[in-house]
C-alpha cells in the first residue's frame, strides 16, 4: 500500500466533508450510442449466462462495452485484494473514453473499496455510475463525497431479467442530460403528508452496514427510498430501528418503500415499516418499482422530487414547478 493510499485510509477514518447543498449536485455527462460504457466488479462477479443476457442489450443500443476478466473472477480474501479492486475501479473511472460505469452485479464486497477511493481525482472525470443492492455503498458514498448524481438501477447481471418498461427507463436515464419529469402513481399511503427534496436511498441492509463507519449515511433533507431482499419481518424491524436510533434519519423529509422480495407477506412488511417509521412524522408511501425484481426502475440519487400522500405519488421533477407526466 502506497503512502498516499495509507493517508486516504487514515483521513477516511476521521470522516468526510459534509454534503453540498442539494442545488449543487452535479449531473454527470450523458452516454450516447457509439460511446464507451465500462463494466466494473467492485462487489461479486457474474456468471457467463447472466452476462450474455444483459450485455446484449447494451450492444444493441449501440454502446461500446469494455470490461476486464475480473467481472467473472471471485475475489481473494484480504486487504491486498480489496486494494486491487479499488485501483481497478479508479483506473476505469479515470479513463477519459469511458462515459458510464455499470456494476456487473451486486452481492458482496463494495464496502471494502471505499477507504481506497480518491475523490479529489474522481471529481475531475465525473461518470454515470449505475448499480443497486450491495453497490448502494458506492452510490451513496460517491454521491456524498463528490456531490455527484449517481444512479440506483439494474446491474448488467439484472438487465436481461428486467421488464421492458424498466429496461427503457434505464436507457433513458443513461442518455438524458439532467433531471427528467416522471411520476409514479397509485402508491400505498402508510402515513399522509407532502414533501419535496432530493432523492437518496437504496438497499436497507447495505445502508445499515455503513453505520458506524466514516461513510455512514445522513439523510436529513432527503426523500429516502428503501428496498430489500430475503429479510424476515423481525430483521426488517431491527434494521429500520437501527437507522432510526443511529440518527441517520434525522431531518429526512419523507420515505417511499420499494420491493421487499422474499421478506415474508407484503402485508406484514408494510405493518413493520409503517410502525417503525411512524416516529419520524413524515409522509411514508410504498409500492415504488425498485429493488430485487424484474420491474426495477432507475432512480438518480440527488434528483429533485416530490412525495405526495393525498395523491399517492412520487414525482421526479425536471423543475420543482413542473408537473410530470405519469409513467
- Residues designated catalytic: 133, 227, 292
Contact assessment for residue 125 and residue 93, using Cβ atoms and an 8 Å cutoff: yes
Q: Report the alpha-carbon distance of residue 40 to residue 105 in Å, rounded.
A: 9
Q: Report the alpha-carbon distance of residue 185 to residue 287 in Å, rounded.
A: 9
C-alpha cell of 114? 471505499
Distances (CA, A) of 323 to 171, 181, 308, 315, 320: 22, 7, 12, 8, 8
3-state DSSP: the chain helix, strand, coil percent, rounded to 5? 40, 20, 40
- Give the three-class secondary structure for 313: strand
Q: Report the alpha-carbon distance of residue 140 to residue 35 in Å, rounded.
A: 26
Q: Report the alpha-carbon distance of residue 211 to residue 140 in Å, rounded.
A: 12
221, burial (CB in 10 Å: exposed 0-12, middle 13-18, buried 19+): middle
Amino acid at each position: 500500500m502506497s503512502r498516499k493510499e495509507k493517508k486516504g485510509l487514515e483521513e477516511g477514518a476521521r470522516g468526510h466533508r459534509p454534503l453540498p447543498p442539494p442545488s449543487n449536485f452535479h449531473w454527470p455527462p450523458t452516454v450516447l450510442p457509439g460511446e464507451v460504457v465500462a463494466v466494473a466488479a467492485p462487489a461479486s462477479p457474474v456468471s457467463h449466462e447472466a452476462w450474455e443476457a444483459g450485455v446484449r442489450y447494451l450492444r444493441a443500443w449501440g454502446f461500446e462495452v469494455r470490461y476486464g476478466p475480473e467481472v467473472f473472477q471471485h475475489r481473494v480474501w484480504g486487504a491486498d485484494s480489496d486494494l486491487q479492486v479499488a485501483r481497478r475501479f479508479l483506473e476505469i473511472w479515470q479513463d477519459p473514453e469511458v462515459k458510464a460505469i455499470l456494476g456487473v452485479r451486486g452481492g458482496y464486497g463494495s464496502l471494502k473499496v471505499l477507504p481506497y477511493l480518491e475523490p479529489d481525482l474522481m471529481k475531475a472525470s465525473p461518470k454515470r455510475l449505475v448499480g443497486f443492492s450491495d453497490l448502494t455503498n458506492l452510490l451513496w458514498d460517491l454521491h456524498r463525497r463528490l456531490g455527484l448524481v449517481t444512479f440506483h438501477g439494474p446491474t448488467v447481471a439484472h438487465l436481461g431479467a428486467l421488464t421492458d418498461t424498466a429496461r427503457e427507463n434505464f436507457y433513458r436515464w443513461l442518455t438524458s442530460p439532467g433531471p427528467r419529469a416522471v411520476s409514479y402513481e397509485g402508491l400505498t399511503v402508510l402515513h399522509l403528508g407532502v414533501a419535496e427534496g432530493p432523492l437518496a436511498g437504496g438497499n436497507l441492509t447495505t445502508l445499515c452496514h455503513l453505520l458506524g463507519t466514516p461513510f455512514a449515511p445522513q439523510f436529513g433533507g432527503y426523500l429516502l427510498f428503501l428496498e430489500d431482499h430475503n429479510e424476515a419481518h423481525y430483521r426488517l424491524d431491527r434494521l429500520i430501528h437501527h437507522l432510526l436510533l443511529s440518527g441517520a434519519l434525522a431531518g429526512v423529509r419523507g420515505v417511499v418503500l420499494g420491493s421487499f422480495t422474499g421478506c415474508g407477506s407484503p402485508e406484514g412488511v408494510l405493518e413493520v415499516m409503517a410502525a417503525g417509521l411512524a416516529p419520524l412524522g413524515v409522509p411514508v408511501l410504498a409500492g415504488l418499482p425498485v429493488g430485487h425484481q424484474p420491474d426495477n426502475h432507475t432512480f438518480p440519487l440527488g434528483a429533485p422530487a416530490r412525495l405526495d400522500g393525498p395523491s399517492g405519488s412520487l414525482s421526479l421533477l425536471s423543475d420543482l414547478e413542473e408537473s410530470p407526466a405519469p409513467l
